[in-house]
Protein backbone atom coordinates (compact mmCIF):
# COMPACT_ATOMS: atom_id res chain seq x y z
CA UNK A 1 0.00 0.00 0.00
CA UNK A 2 1.32 3.45 -0.98
CA UNK A 3 1.96 5.56 2.13
CA UNK A 4 -0.14 8.70 2.52
CA UNK A 5 0.80 9.32 6.13
CA UNK A 6 -0.56 12.67 7.34
CA UNK A 7 -1.50 13.77 3.81
CA UNK A 8 -4.71 15.80 3.61
CA UNK A 9 -6.84 14.33 0.83
CA UNK A 10 -10.21 15.52 -0.48
CA UNK A 11 -12.41 13.02 -2.33
CA UNK A 12 -15.60 14.17 -4.05
CA UNK A 13 -18.45 11.69 -4.14
CA UNK A 14 -16.86 9.56 -1.45
CA UNK A 15 -19.89 7.98 0.21
CA UNK A 16 -20.37 5.00 -2.11
CA UNK A 17 -18.86 2.87 -4.85
CA UNK A 18 -15.40 3.76 -6.12
CA UNK A 19 -15.35 6.93 -4.02
CA UNK A 20 -15.98 5.04 -0.81
CA UNK A 21 -13.19 2.58 -1.65
CA UNK A 22 -10.82 5.50 -2.27
CA UNK A 23 -11.75 7.09 1.07
CA UNK A 24 -11.21 3.85 2.98
CA UNK A 25 -7.96 3.02 1.19
CA UNK A 26 -6.47 6.49 1.69
CA UNK A 27 -7.45 6.55 5.36
CA UNK A 28 -5.87 3.12 5.86
CA UNK A 29 -2.70 4.48 4.23
CA UNK A 30 -2.50 7.21 6.89
CA UNK A 31 -4.22 10.13 5.16
CA UNK A 32 -6.55 12.66 6.73
CA UNK A 33 -9.47 12.23 4.36
CA UNK A 34 -12.27 14.68 3.73
CA UNK A 35 -15.02 13.49 1.42
CA UNK A 36 -18.30 14.76 0.05
CA UNK A 37 -21.79 13.37 -0.22
CA UNK A 38 -24.71 14.97 -2.03
CA UNK A 39 -27.92 14.18 -0.14
CA UNK A 40 -28.28 11.50 2.52
CA UNK A 41 -25.58 11.40 5.20
CA UNK A 42 -26.41 7.87 6.37
CA UNK A 43 -23.68 6.00 4.51
CA UNK A 44 -21.21 8.84 5.00
CA UNK A 45 -21.76 8.68 8.76
CA UNK A 46 -21.22 4.92 8.70
CA UNK A 47 -17.92 5.30 6.82
CA UNK A 48 -16.66 7.90 9.28
CA UNK A 49 -17.67 5.79 12.28
CA UNK A 50 -16.10 2.61 10.89
CA UNK A 51 -12.83 4.37 10.19
CA UNK A 52 -12.82 6.12 13.57
CA UNK A 53 -13.18 2.72 15.25
CA UNK A 54 -9.87 1.81 13.62
CA UNK A 55 -8.27 5.12 14.67
CA UNK A 56 -8.33 6.29 11.06
CA UNK A 57 -9.24 9.82 10.00
CA UNK A 58 -12.18 10.81 7.78
CA UNK A 59 -14.57 13.76 7.77
CA UNK A 60 -17.70 13.97 5.63
CA UNK A 61 -19.10 17.14 4.06
CA UNK A 62 -22.47 17.69 2.40
CA UNK A 63 -21.66 19.37 -0.89
CA UNK A 64 -23.32 19.80 -4.27
CA UNK A 65 -20.26 19.56 -6.49
CA UNK A 66 -22.23 21.04 -9.39
CA UNK A 67 -22.26 24.32 -7.42
CA UNK A 68 -18.99 26.28 -7.73
CA UNK A 69 -19.79 28.13 -4.50
CA UNK A 70 -20.23 24.86 -2.59
CA UNK A 71 -16.96 23.50 -3.95
CA UNK A 72 -15.01 26.66 -3.11
CA UNK A 73 -16.46 26.67 0.41
CA UNK A 74 -15.51 23.01 0.84
CA UNK A 75 -11.87 23.56 -0.06
CA UNK A 76 -11.64 26.67 2.13
CA UNK A 77 -13.11 24.69 5.06
CA UNK A 78 -10.60 21.87 4.65
CA UNK A 79 -7.59 24.18 4.32
CA UNK A 80 -8.71 26.17 7.38
CA UNK A 81 -9.17 22.99 9.42
CA UNK A 82 -6.00 21.19 8.33
CA UNK A 83 -3.64 24.00 7.33
CA UNK A 84 -2.89 22.33 3.98
CA UNK A 85 -4.31 20.20 1.20
CA UNK A 86 -2.08 17.64 -0.45
CA UNK A 87 -4.43 15.73 -2.72
CA UNK A 88 -7.73 16.11 -4.58
CA UNK A 89 -9.65 13.23 -6.13
CA UNK A 90 -12.35 14.38 -8.53
CA UNK A 91 -14.54 11.30 -8.33
CA UNK A 92 -18.14 12.58 -8.14
CA UNK A 93 -20.19 11.55 -11.12
CA UNK A 94 -23.69 10.78 -12.34
CA UNK A 95 -25.33 9.25 -15.40
CA UNK A 96 -28.40 10.36 -17.33
CA UNK A 97 -28.32 7.84 -20.15
CA UNK A 98 -30.40 8.01 -23.31
CA UNK A 99 -30.23 8.14 -27.08
CA UNK A 100 -29.11 11.52 -28.39
CA UNK A 101 -32.35 12.21 -30.27
CA UNK A 102 -34.29 11.89 -27.00
CA UNK A 103 -31.77 13.46 -24.62
CA UNK A 104 -33.02 16.59 -22.90
CA UNK A 105 -30.85 19.65 -22.35
CA UNK A 106 -31.15 19.20 -18.58
CA UNK A 107 -29.77 15.64 -18.85
CA UNK A 108 -26.76 16.92 -20.77
CA UNK A 109 -26.20 19.84 -18.39
CA UNK A 110 -26.55 17.78 -15.21
CA UNK A 111 -23.92 15.26 -16.31
CA UNK A 112 -21.46 17.88 -17.62
CA UNK A 113 -21.85 20.05 -14.50
CA UNK A 114 -21.40 17.16 -12.06
CA UNK A 115 -18.76 15.11 -13.88
CA UNK A 116 -16.66 17.75 -15.64
CA UNK A 117 -17.35 21.26 -14.41
CA UNK A 118 -17.02 20.14 -10.79
CA UNK A 119 -13.52 18.82 -11.52
CA UNK A 120 -12.60 22.19 -13.00
CA UNK A 121 -13.99 24.18 -10.07
CA UNK A 122 -12.41 21.91 -7.46
CA UNK A 123 -9.05 21.96 -9.24
CA UNK A 124 -9.23 25.75 -9.48
CA UNK A 125 -10.00 25.94 -5.76
CA UNK A 126 -7.03 23.78 -4.71
CA UNK A 127 -4.57 25.35 -7.14
CA UNK A 128 -3.74 28.36 -4.99
CA UNK A 129 -3.04 26.53 -1.69
CA UNK A 130 -1.11 23.81 -3.55
CA UNK A 131 0.95 26.42 -5.40
CA UNK A 132 1.83 28.07 -2.08
CA UNK A 133 2.94 24.67 -0.77
CA UNK A 134 4.76 23.94 -4.05
CA UNK A 135 3.31 20.46 -3.79
CA UNK A 136 0.09 18.71 -4.63
CA UNK A 137 -1.68 15.88 -6.42
CA UNK A 138 -4.90 15.97 -8.44
CA UNK A 139 -6.45 12.72 -9.64
CA UNK A 140 -9.45 12.76 -11.97
CA UNK A 141 -11.63 9.67 -12.17
CA UNK A 142 -12.48 9.20 -15.82
CA UNK A 143 -13.79 6.17 -17.69
CA UNK A 144 -12.76 4.17 -20.70
CA UNK A 145 -15.92 5.42 -22.42
CA UNK A 146 -14.19 8.80 -22.52
CA UNK A 147 -11.80 7.15 -24.97
CA UNK A 148 -14.02 4.62 -26.73
CA UNK A 149 -17.46 6.24 -26.59
CA UNK A 150 -20.63 4.36 -25.76
CA UNK A 151 -24.02 4.38 -27.46
CA UNK A 152 -26.67 5.97 -25.27
CA UNK A 153 -24.09 7.85 -23.20
CA UNK A 154 -23.09 10.88 -25.27
CA UNK A 155 -23.27 13.13 -22.22
CA UNK A 156 -21.34 10.78 -19.92
CA UNK A 157 -18.73 9.95 -22.57
CA UNK A 158 -18.24 13.63 -23.38
CA UNK A 159 -17.79 14.48 -19.70
CA UNK A 160 -15.16 11.77 -19.25
CA UNK A 161 -13.37 12.72 -22.48
CA UNK A 162 -13.30 16.28 -21.17
CA UNK A 163 -11.56 15.08 -18.02
CA UNK A 164 -8.70 13.79 -20.15
CA UNK A 165 -8.18 17.22 -21.72
CA UNK A 166 -8.51 18.86 -18.30
CA UNK A 167 -5.92 16.47 -16.88
CA UNK A 168 -3.35 17.05 -19.59
CA UNK A 169 -3.75 20.83 -19.63
CA UNK A 170 -3.58 21.17 -15.85
CA UNK A 171 -0.54 18.90 -15.76
CA UNK A 172 1.34 21.27 -18.07
CA UNK A 173 0.11 24.36 -16.25
CA UNK A 174 0.95 23.24 -12.72
CA UNK A 175 4.02 21.02 -13.10
CA UNK A 176 6.52 23.79 -12.37
CA UNK A 177 5.02 24.05 -8.86
CA UNK A 178 5.31 20.30 -8.31
CA UNK A 179 1.56 19.78 -8.63
CA UNK A 180 0.98 16.54 -10.50
CA UNK A 181 -2.28 15.81 -12.31
CA UNK A 182 -3.32 12.38 -13.58
CA UNK A 183 -6.44 10.50 -14.63
CA UNK A 184 -7.59 7.01 -13.70
CA UNK A 185 -10.01 5.52 -16.23
CA UNK A 186 -11.93 2.49 -14.92
CA UNK A 187 -13.72 0.04 -17.14
CA UNK A 188 -16.55 -2.11 -15.82
CA UNK A 189 -16.53 -1.92 -12.00
CA UNK A 190 -18.79 -3.84 -9.63
CA UNK A 191 -20.60 -1.15 -7.61
CA UNK A 192 -24.12 -0.42 -6.42
CA UNK A 193 -24.77 1.19 -9.81
CA UNK A 194 -23.97 -2.03 -11.67
CA UNK A 195 -25.89 -4.11 -9.12
CA UNK A 196 -29.03 -2.94 -10.91
CA UNK A 197 -28.07 -5.02 -13.96
CA UNK A 198 -29.36 -8.55 -14.40
CA UNK A 199 -27.01 -11.53 -14.23
CA UNK A 200 -27.35 -11.92 -18.00
CA UNK A 201 -26.41 -8.28 -18.60
CA UNK A 202 -23.39 -8.57 -16.31
CA UNK A 203 -22.20 -11.69 -18.08
CA UNK A 204 -22.61 -9.99 -21.45
CA UNK A 205 -20.41 -7.11 -20.31
CA UNK A 206 -17.76 -9.38 -18.80
CA UNK A 207 -17.54 -11.51 -21.96
CA UNK A 208 -15.92 -8.56 -23.74
CA UNK A 209 -13.29 -8.03 -21.02
CA UNK A 210 -10.03 -9.91 -21.70
CA UNK A 211 -9.72 -10.70 -17.98
CA UNK A 212 -13.30 -12.03 -18.03
CA UNK A 213 -14.40 -10.21 -14.89
CA UNK A 214 -15.28 -6.79 -13.58
CA UNK A 215 -12.96 -4.74 -11.38
CA UNK A 216 -13.54 -4.20 -7.69
CA UNK A 217 -13.68 -0.62 -6.39
CA UNK A 218 -10.60 -1.42 -4.29
CA UNK A 219 -8.59 -2.21 -7.43
CA UNK A 220 -9.32 1.30 -8.68
CA UNK A 221 -8.54 2.81 -5.27
CA UNK A 222 -5.03 1.33 -5.17
CA UNK A 223 -4.15 3.05 -8.45
CA UNK A 224 -5.55 6.35 -7.20
CA UNK A 225 -3.47 6.04 -4.04
CA UNK A 226 -0.34 5.53 -6.15
CA UNK A 227 -0.96 8.81 -7.97
CA UNK A 228 -1.56 10.58 -4.64
CA UNK A 229 1.62 9.22 -3.08
CA UNK A 230 5.28 10.22 -3.34
CA UNK A 231 5.85 7.07 -5.40
CA UNK A 232 4.41 8.89 -8.43
CA UNK A 233 6.76 11.86 -8.05
CA UNK A 234 7.73 12.06 -11.75
CA UNK A 235 4.39 11.10 -13.31
CA UNK A 236 1.96 13.73 -14.57
CA UNK A 237 -0.51 14.20 -17.40
CA UNK A 238 -1.17 10.47 -17.71
CA UNK A 239 -4.35 8.47 -18.22
CA UNK A 240 -4.16 4.99 -16.68
CA UNK A 241 -6.89 2.55 -17.63
CA UNK A 242 -8.03 0.10 -14.97
CA UNK A 243 -10.15 -2.01 -17.26
CA UNK A 244 -8.89 -5.59 -17.43
CA UNK A 245 -7.66 -4.98 -20.97
CA UNK A 246 -11.02 -3.85 -22.34
CA UNK A 247 -9.63 -0.83 -24.21
CA UNK A 248 -6.28 -2.43 -25.08
In the chain the first and final C-alpha atoms are separated, in Å, by 26
Q: Is 156 a catalytic residue?
A: yes
Residue 206: burial class (beta carbons within 10 Å; 0-12, 13-18, 19+): middle
Q: Looking at 37, 156, 188, 234, which residue is catalytic?
A: 156
Give the integer Cα–Cα distance in Å for 6 and 210: 38
Strands 239-242 and 179-186, how do they pair?
parallel
Q: Which contiguous run of DSSP H or E holds residue 162?
A: helix 154-174
Give the integer Cα–Cα distance in Å for 246 and 192: 21
Neighbour-count burial for 84-112, b at 16+ CB within 10 Å, e otherwise? bbbbbbbbbbbbbeeeeeebeeebbebbb
Residues annotated catalytic, as ranges: 156
Amino acid sequence: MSSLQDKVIVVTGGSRGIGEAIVRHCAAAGAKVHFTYRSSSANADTIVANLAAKNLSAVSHKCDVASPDDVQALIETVVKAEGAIHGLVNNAGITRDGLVMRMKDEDWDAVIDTNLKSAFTASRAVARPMMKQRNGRIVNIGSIVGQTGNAGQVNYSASKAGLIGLTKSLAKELASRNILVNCVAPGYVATDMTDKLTEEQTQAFEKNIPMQRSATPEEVATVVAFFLSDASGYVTGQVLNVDGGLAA
